[in-house]
């Protein structure tokens, strides 16, 4: 394959929309192996102006474009240069789409280096051209210029082709077999590699099929209590953080932070006295090390496990990949006993080897399933975790993952032939052997809901980002049911997919019984139960449709009555409407049918157990029967609570108009009692930490929400000097959010502020429609000042947007939801934070509405405290280091006009607050950022 001549192509454009955007530069190179043979490069004059973000991205001078030819003047030269050679490019589909829009045609083979790289480099962290070039040592000095990108794509293709030839014959053969099922364009490359390898086969040893990378590594020994019951020495903990302690000796220039030391001592005391601790530690305290040090010392001394739970992947990554390895090095340097740490995720994150091999053998594979299998095949030899986040699945390949991941329903546990090398059970065993186990809140609550079957046993718990615990617990403890879920249940039992194709438990059971000679009397009883179930399954399908049609119509009636919220909360009065009567009857019918199915499944389960056989197929059948029987019971009970009402649950229907789907949901009215009795009361140590847990210096609200009534409280100020570093400005002459002119004021204020600050701005919104409206309105005026505008949900992922703000500070970034937390931009690139509106929860949200009813004064006792916590999170985005300076502008005058406004301000770190006319703000911002008097 290295002797063939290919042509690599790249275009730069005014944007990403075909039919709207235009080519501004095109380049192509011919190449053989790693040798570039010839080059073609032209600028192209577009009809529209080039957006600032494109000029920034490409560095193409608009003046040079004004002198360039139109595409029709260079198209014929380009076509001649390309000829009929095979085409190569990175995400080449886009480039060819733009060229086809100019009338060009391509009938030759096309190879996408992006696609090839996702197969051959399964563990790359990014598949952008520049990231791949850096990883493979290909120089890429001038990214986003067409010629350079085309040359790098050519080099990348050559390197990947060489890698392909390094695959063993068995792997190449299997890949070609899978590709032949779907006609993947890359297939002929792999076939050619296979032919070349086959020609040289006698020179190579025969390789075994790929197996998990560390299948044979010895297992760590589970943690054993040491019997050492001495308490932690609080002074020794303090000394750990002193400049001449382990930190100071490891990190030159290390400075002790008194709040961090205070927190570490409090955490150690919480371990010693088993009293829960709630600690609010302001930004910059260094709270993760403040709990990791005592946790690791306690765990190693006693041989006991400490579970650390976070809400975000960012913090999980930081703990597991940075802080914990740092601390392990510090322990080693200080001569302290080593400690082990593990990261444990939910089941669905891990590859199930049994399902992988089953799917590989399947005859009916979709394109996405084949692509996922190809990627997994090349990933298996290198992964030690089987963790899905290492695997570059894109778009609908991700749906294929649901047929490959670990699920309770399909796992046969110790009876599985892959149990020993199973990634999930290896991760669990690693957690059992670890002193520190990092998990997320969702897994923590899933463990609680599954009666501690998910995590290894533990007595000591640290919850970071604890302000999210109520929301995550509410989500995790909620029950959702839709029509698709019920139909899948029936399909898992029995499904006909055409004349020949039948699948599902009931169709497989007779075959499995035949394999063991019929199963005697038990086999007969199983077959009889299957026969009895057949007509019931047909009735079940009808009953499901009847029930969901009535429910959908019920929601639609509500919508027609002028309610536009897609969620309808099921209150007593809603259930008293005459139309609800028909729904209860339809549900009763469905309930009876599900009960009948559950009874027959119980018979089958009992008889399969009676067979007392241990074949793999029977084990599999037993697990599936158990799971389906449990599903039938759970659904009846829990959906019954939704239909008839239940004092402890918040129930609602959600109708998704676009997809025409209806979901029933039941969420716990309160998670406090559950968390208290099933989590905190069960643990010797419970430590909850966050930067935002108090309201005007009081923890009562959060404590009551999560059921932690009795605990030690500690509030630590940030080491940052907010009084000097930050200023809060509240304009006093603007409309309030529900008044006329408010949206226009937001738009104009952001433009004026951005011009004064030269970008460097993050604006936080509470609703995406307001964000989008603002985005559209401010683009043009800010582009006139060469300031770019980027928005969440429009211009890329959160990480990409934050990176771009850091790289191009002359920008305004607009965000909602997740941007209120976790955005971390140190330095000048973020100097102005705009909070457009106080972040009150939507009062019609079923959970908010139902929980509000628990208070005598719902607004002041529930909505205001919730909003203050979020407001504090948003505020925390501005000052991220001792050297940061910046202004927070709150464009919500209710801070001044409403009684609750002062509570918001009193909850912030000690900061200067000013009010005045909006018109004064730009001048003040400019002076403040220049370091002058404000
Ligand atoms: S033990 Fe369970 S999860 Fe692991 S490979 Fe076997 S079936 Fe899959």
pLDDT in tens, 387-422: 998 888 887 888 899 999 999 888 888 889 899 999
- CATH code at 5-166: 3.30.420.10
pLDDT for the residue numbered 24: 96
> Measured between alpha carbons, how far is 256 from 247 in angstroms, rounded to an integer?
9
Q: How far is CA 749 from CA 529, 741, 766, 786, 835, in A?
A: 71, 12, 17, 17, 12
Q: Cα angle at 179 between 177 and 182, to 5 degrees?
A: 120
Q: Ligand 1 center to residue 376 CA distance, Å?
A: 16
Lowest mean pLDDT across 199-203, 297-301, 319-323, 561-565: 561-565
DSSP structure class, residue 323: I
Find the 486 Cα to ligand 1 centroid distance in Å: 25
Pairing of strands 23-32, 5-13: antiparallel
Q: Are the CB atoms for 161 and 55 separated by under 8 Å?
A: no
CB atoms within 10 A of CB 105: 8
Question: Which atom of ligand 1 is least distant from the CA of 406?
Answer: 3
Is residue 92's pLDDT more than 50? yes
Q: Pinpoint the alpha helices (H) of 707-797.
A: 722-725, 742-757, 768-783
Report yes or no: 364 and 501 within 8 Å, Cβ to Cβ: yes
- Which of these is catalytic: 90, 144, 435, 441? 144
Residue 354 in contact with ligand 1 by CB distance below 6 A: yes
d(CA 863, CA 395): 38
**Which ligand 1 atom is nearest residue 413's CA?**
1
Q: Which of 612, 856, 931, 779 is nearest to 15 (CA)?
A: 779
Radius of gyration of the chain (CA): 31
Q: Of the residues 418, 426, 453, 626, which should be mutated to test ligand 1's pocket, given the most ligand atoms within 8 Å of the CB?
A: 418
CA 193 to chain centre: 37
Cβ of 427 less than 6 Å from ligand 1 = no
Could you tell me the distance, in angstroms and rounded to a whole number, from the CA of residue 383 to the centre of ligand 1? 16
How far is Cα 565 from Cα 559, in angstroms, rounded to an integer? 8
8 A C-beta contact, residue 291 and residue 462: yes
Identify the H or E element spanning 656.
Answer: strand 649-656
Nearest to 759 by CA among 787, 738, 779: 787
d(CA 659, CA 641): 26
Q: E-strand spans in 524-629?
A: 567-569
Residue 207 scores a pLDDT above 70 = no
pLDDT > 90 in the chain, percent: 72
Cβ atoms of 680 and 503 within 8 Å: the answer is no
Pick from 211, 417, 421, 422 the residue to mutate for probing ligand 1's pocket: most ligand atoms within 8 Å of its CB: 422
Assess contact for 70 and 108: CB atoms under 8 A: no
Residue 565 pLDDT class (50, 70, 90 cuts): low
At 516, is the pLDDT very low, low, confident or very high (cuts 50, 70, 90)? confident
Distance 296 CA to ligand 1 centre (A): 31
Query: Are 788 and 812 a contacting pair, CB within 8 Å?
Result: yes
Flag whether pLDDT at 559 surpasses 80: no
pLDDT over 90 at 631, yes or no? yes
pLDDT tops 90 at residue 332: yes
- The C-alpha atoms of residue 66 and residue 68 are separated, in whole angstroms, by 6
Ligand 1 geometric centre to CA of 726 (Å): 54
Pocket residue to mutate for ligand 1, from 424, 453, 454, 619, most atoms within 8 A of Cβ: 424
Fold: same for 5-166 and 270-339+434-477+679-719: no
Which residue's CA is the closest to the ligand 1 atom numbered 4? 422
Calpha distance 392→394 (Å, rounded): 6
Q: Residues 192-196: contacts with CB within 8 Å, 24+ apart?
A: 192/1, 193/1, 193/161, 193/164, 193/165, 193/167, 194/169, 196/1, 196/165
Taking the centre of ligand 1 as the mean of its atom positions, its distance from the CA of residue 388, in whole angstroms, is 15
State the Cα angle at 799 between 96 and 911, rounded to 5°.
145
Q: Is 422 in the pocket of ligand 1 (CB under 6 A)?
A: yes
Q: CATH assignment of 270-339+434-477+679-719?
A: 3.40.50.300
The mean pLDDT value for 589-608 works out to 95
Evaluate whether 297 touches 304 at the Cβ level (below 8 Å).
no
CA pair distance 265, 241, nearest whole angstrom: 10
| Model confidence at 208: pLDDT above 60 | no
Of 325 and 250, the structure prediction assigns the larger pLDDT to 325
Signed CA dihedral, 561, 565, 566, 572: sign only:
negative
Pairing verdict, β 685-690 and 811-815: unpaired
- Cβ atoms within 10 A of the Cβ of 774, count? 23
pLDDT value of position 548: 96
For residue 564, what pLDDT band results from cuts at 50, 70 and 90?
low
Question: What are 700-722's pLDDT values in tens digits?
Answer: 999 999 999 899 999 999 999 99
Distance CA 143, CA 132 (A): 12
411 lines ligand 1 (CB under 6 A): yes
Residues of the binding site: 281-288
Determine if ligand 1 sits within 6 Å of the CB of residue 416.
Answer: yes
Instruction: Mean pLDDT check: name the lowest of 292-296, 548-552, 638-642, 657-661.
Output: 657-661
Burial of 920 per CB tally in 10 Å (0-12, 13-18, 19+): middle
The continuous run of DSSP H or E covering 371 comes out as helix 367-379
Cβ-contact 182, 367 below 8 angstroms: yes
User: For residue 933, what pLDDT band results from cuts at 50, 70 and 90?
Assistant: very low
- Angstrom distance (rounded) from CA 542 to CA 533: 15
Alpha carbon distance 281, 294 (integer Å): 16
> What's the gap in Å between 353 CA and the centre of ligand 1?
6
For the CA of 347, the closest atom of ligand 1 is 3
Give pLDDT, residue 206: 47
Binned at pLDDT 50, 70 and 90, residue 581 comes out as: very high
- How far apart, in Å, are the Cα atoms of 44 and each of 36, 383, 718, 766, 842? 23, 45, 54, 41, 49
- pLDDT at residue 412, as a whole number: 85
Give the residue, by CA position, lying nearest to ligand 1 atom 2: 411
Assess contact for 35 and 58: CB atoms under 8 A.
no
Task: Annotate 456-509 with DSSP letters as a single string.
Answer: PP-SEEEESSGGGHHHHHHHHT-EEEEHHHHHHHHHHH-EE-SSS-EESHHHHH
Q: State the fold for domain 722-930.
A: Rossmann fold (3.40.50)
Q: What is the pLDDT of residue 204?
A: 57
347 lines ligand 1 (CB under 6 A): no
More confident residue, 796 or 67: 67
Is 435 among the residues known to form the active site? no
Q: How big is the chain, counted in residues? A: 934
Q: Looking at residue 680, what DSSP letter applies?
A: G
Which of helix, strand or coil describes residue 553? helix
220 vs 756 pLDDT, higher one: 756
The pLDDT of 592-616, averaged and rounded, is: 90
Q: What is the mean pLDDT of residues 446-475?
A: 93
**Residues 721, 927: Cα–Cα separation, whole Å:** 19
Rounded CA-CA distance 302/226 in Å is 5
Decide whether any atom of ligand 1 lies within 6 Å of the 419 Cβ: yes
Is 330's C-beta closer than 6 angstroms to any atom of ligand 1? no
415 CB near ligand 1 (under 6 Å): no
**Residue 2 has what pLDDT?**
63
Residue having the nearest C-alpha atom to atom 8 of ligand 1: 352
Query: What mean pLDDT value characterizes the chain?
Result: 91
The span from the CA of 787 to the CA of 501, in Å, is 60
Ligand 1 pocket mutation, candidates 411, 426, 619, criterion most atoms within 8 A of CB = 411
**Local structure of residue 764 (DSSP, 8 states):** E
User: pLDDT category, 202, cuts 50, 70, 90?
Assistant: low
Q: Rounded to whole angstroms, how far apart are CA atoms 22 and 15?
A: 7
Which ranges of 876-915 would DSSP assign to H, the alpha helix?
A: 894-897, 901-906
What share of the chain has pLDDT > 70, as a percent?
A: 96
Residue range 104-124, pLDDT digits in tens? 999 999 999 999 999 899 878
- Tens-place pLDDT, residues 477-503: 999 999 999 999 999 998 876 555 567
Segment 282-305 mean pLDDT = 96
Residue 274 has pLDDT above 50, yes or no: yes
Beta-ladder partners of 26:
11, 42
DSSP secondary structure of 849-860: HHHHTTSSSHII
- Confidence (pLDDT) at 396: 81
- Our CA dihedral for 870, 872, 877, 883, rounded to 10 degrees, sits at -170
Which of the 8 DSSP states describes residue 638?
A: H
Q: How far does the centroid of ligand 1 lie from the alpha carbon of residue 409, in Å? A: 11
Whether residue 829 contacts residue 773, with contact meaning beta carbons closer than 8 Å, is answered with: no
Q: Residue 233's pLDDT band (boundaries 50, 70, 90)? A: very high
Taking the C-alpha atoms of residue 601 and residue 393, their distance in angstroms, rounded to an integer, is 36
Return the residue whose CA atom lies nearest to atom 7 of ligand 1: 411
| Cβ burial 394-412 (10 Å sphere, 16+ → b, else e) | eeebeebbebbbbeeebbb
450 has a pLDDT exceeding 70 = yes
DSSP, res 195? H
> CA 812, CA 829: separation in Å to the nearest integer?
10
Q: What does the alpha-carbon distance between residue 301 and residue 306 come to, in Å, rounded to a whole number?
A: 12
Q: Ranked by mean pLDDT, which of 80-84, 552-556, 620-624 comes out on top?
A: 80-84
CA angle 522, 528, 530 (to 5 degrees): 105
Three-class SS state of 760: coil
Neighbours of 101 (CB within 10 A): 15
C-alpha 620 – ligand 1 centre gap (Å): 11
Which pLDDT value is given to residue 798?
A: 86
510-523 average pLDDT score? 86
The reported pLDDT for the residue numbered 490 is: 94
Mean pLDDT of the region 205-230? 70
Dump pLDDT digits (tens) for 128-161: 899 999 999 998 887 789 999 999 999 999 999 9
DSSP 806-859: HH--SEEEEE-GGGGSS----STT--EEEE-S--PPPTTSHHHHHHHTTSSSHI
CA angle 731, 869, 889 (to 5 degrees): 20
Locate the domains of the chain by residue range: 5-166, 270-339+434-477+679-719, 341-431, 484-668, 722-930
**What is the predicted pLDDT for the residue at 3?**
80
Residues annotated in a binding site for ATP: 281-288
């Amino acid at each position: 394959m290295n002797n063939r001549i290919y042509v690599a192509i790249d275009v730069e454009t005014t944007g990403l929309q075909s039919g709207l955007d235009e080519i501004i530069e095109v380049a192509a190179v011919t190449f053989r192996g790693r040798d570039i043979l010839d080059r073609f490069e032209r600028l192209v004059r577009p009809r529209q102006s080039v957006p600032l973000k494109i000029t920034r991205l490409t560095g193409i001078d608009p003046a040079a474009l004004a002198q360039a030819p139109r595409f029709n003047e260079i198209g014929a030269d380009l076509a001649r240069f390309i000829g009929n050679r095979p085409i190569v490019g990175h995400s080449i589909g886009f480039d060819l789409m733009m060229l086809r829009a100019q009338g060009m045609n391509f009938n030759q083979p096309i190879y996408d280096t992006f696609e090839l790289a996702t197969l051959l480099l399964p563990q790359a962290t990014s598949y952008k051209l520049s990231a791949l070039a850096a990883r493979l040592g290909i120089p890429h000095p001038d990214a986003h210029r067409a010629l350079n990108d085309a040359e790098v794509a050519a080099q990348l293709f050559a390197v990947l082709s060489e890698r392909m030839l390094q695959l063993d014959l068995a792997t190449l053969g299997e890949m070609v077999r899978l590709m032949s099922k779907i006609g993947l364009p890359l297939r002929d490359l792999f076939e050619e590699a296979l032919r070349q390898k086959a020609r040289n086969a006698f020179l190579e040893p025969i390789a075994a099929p790929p197996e998990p990378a560390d299948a044979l590594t010895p297992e760590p020994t589970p943690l054993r209590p040491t019997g050492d019951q001495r308490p932690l020495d609080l002074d020794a903990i303090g000394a750990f953080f002193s400049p001449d302690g382990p930190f100071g000796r490891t990190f030159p220039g290390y400075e002790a932070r008194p709040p961090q030391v205070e927190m570490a001592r409090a955490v150690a005391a919480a371990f010693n006295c088993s009293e829960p601790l709630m600690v609010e530690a302001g930004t910059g305290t260094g709270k993760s090390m403040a709990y990791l040090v005592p946790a690791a010392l306690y765990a190693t001394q006693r041989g006991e496990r400490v579970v650390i739970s976070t809400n975000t992947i960012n913090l999980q990554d930081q703990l597991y990949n940075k802080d914990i390895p740092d601390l392990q090095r510090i322990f080693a340097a200080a001569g302290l006993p080593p400690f082990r740490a593990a990261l444990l995720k939910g089941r669905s994150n891990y590859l199930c080897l049994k399902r992988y091999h089953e799917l590989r053998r399947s005859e009916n594979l979709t394109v996405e399933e084949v692509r996922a299998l190809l990627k997994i095949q090349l990933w298996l030899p290198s992964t030690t975790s089987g963790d899905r986040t290492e695997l570059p699945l894109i778009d609908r390949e991700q749906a294929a993952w649901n047929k490959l991941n670990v699920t309770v329903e399909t796992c046969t546990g110790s009876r599985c032939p892959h149990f020993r090398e199973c990634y999930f059970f290896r991760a669990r065993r690693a957690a059992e052997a670890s002193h520190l186990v990092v998990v997320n809140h969702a897994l923590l609550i899933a463990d609680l809901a599954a009666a501690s079957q998910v995590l290894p046993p533990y007595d000591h718990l640290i919850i970071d980002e604890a302000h999210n615990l109520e929301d995550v617990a509410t989500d995790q403890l909620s029950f959702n049911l839709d029509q698709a879920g019920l139909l899948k249940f029936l399909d898992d039992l029995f499904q006909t997919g055409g004349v020949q194709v039948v699948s599902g438990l009931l169709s497989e059971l007779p075959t499995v019984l035949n394999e063991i000679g019929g199963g005697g009397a038990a086999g007969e009883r199983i077959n009889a139960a299957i026969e009895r179930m057949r007509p019931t399954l047909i009735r079940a399908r009808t009953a499901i449709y009847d029930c969901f049609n009535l429910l959908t119509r019920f929601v639609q009636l509500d919508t027609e009555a002028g309610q536009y919220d897609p969620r309808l909360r099921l209150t007593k009065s809603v259930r008293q409407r005459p139309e609800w009567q028909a729904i209860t009857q339809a549900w009763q019918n469905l309930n009876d049918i599900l009960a009948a199915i559950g009874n027959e499944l119980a018979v089958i389960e009992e008889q399969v157990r009676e067979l007392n056989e241990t074949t793999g197929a029977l084990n599999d059948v037993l697990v599936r029967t158990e799971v389906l029987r449990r599903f039938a019971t759970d659904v009846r009970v829990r959906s019954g609570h939704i239909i008839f009402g239940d004092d402890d649950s918040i129930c609602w229907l959600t109708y998704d108009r676009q997809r025409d789907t209806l979901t029933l949901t039941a969420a716990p009215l309160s998670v406090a009692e559950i968390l208290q009795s099933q989590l905190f009361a069960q643990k010797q140590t419970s430590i909850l930490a966050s930067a935002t847990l108090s309201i005007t210096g009081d923890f009562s609200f959060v404590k009551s929400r999560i059921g932690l009534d009795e605990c030690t409280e500690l509030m630590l100020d940030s080491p940052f000097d907010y009084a000097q570093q930050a200023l809060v400005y509240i304009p006093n002459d603007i409309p309030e959010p529900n008044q006329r002119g408010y949206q226009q004021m937001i738009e104009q204020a952001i433009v004026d502020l951005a011009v004064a600050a030269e970008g460097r701005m993050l604006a936080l919104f509470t609703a995406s429609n307001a964000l989008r409206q603002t985005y559209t309105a401010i683009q043009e005026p800010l582009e006139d000042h060469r300031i770019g505008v980027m928005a969440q949900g429009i211009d890329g992922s959160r990480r990409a947007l934050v990176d771009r703000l850091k790289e191009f500070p002359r920008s305004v970034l607009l965000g909602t939801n997740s941007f209120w937390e976790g955005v971390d931009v140190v330095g000048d690139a973020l100097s102005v934070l705009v909070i457009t509106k106080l972040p009150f929860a939507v009062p019609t949200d079923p959970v908010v509405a139902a929980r509000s009813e628990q208070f005598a004064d719902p607004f002041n006792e529930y909505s205001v405290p919730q909003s203050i916590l979020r407001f504090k999170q948003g505020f925390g985005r501005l000052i991220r280091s001792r050297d940061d300076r910046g202004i927070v502008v709150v464009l919500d005058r209710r801070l001044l006009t409403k009684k609750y406004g002062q509570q918001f301000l009193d909850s912030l770190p000690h900061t200067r607050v000013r009010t005045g006319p909006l018109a004064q703000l730009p001048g003040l911002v400019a002076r403040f950022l220049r370091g002058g008097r404000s």
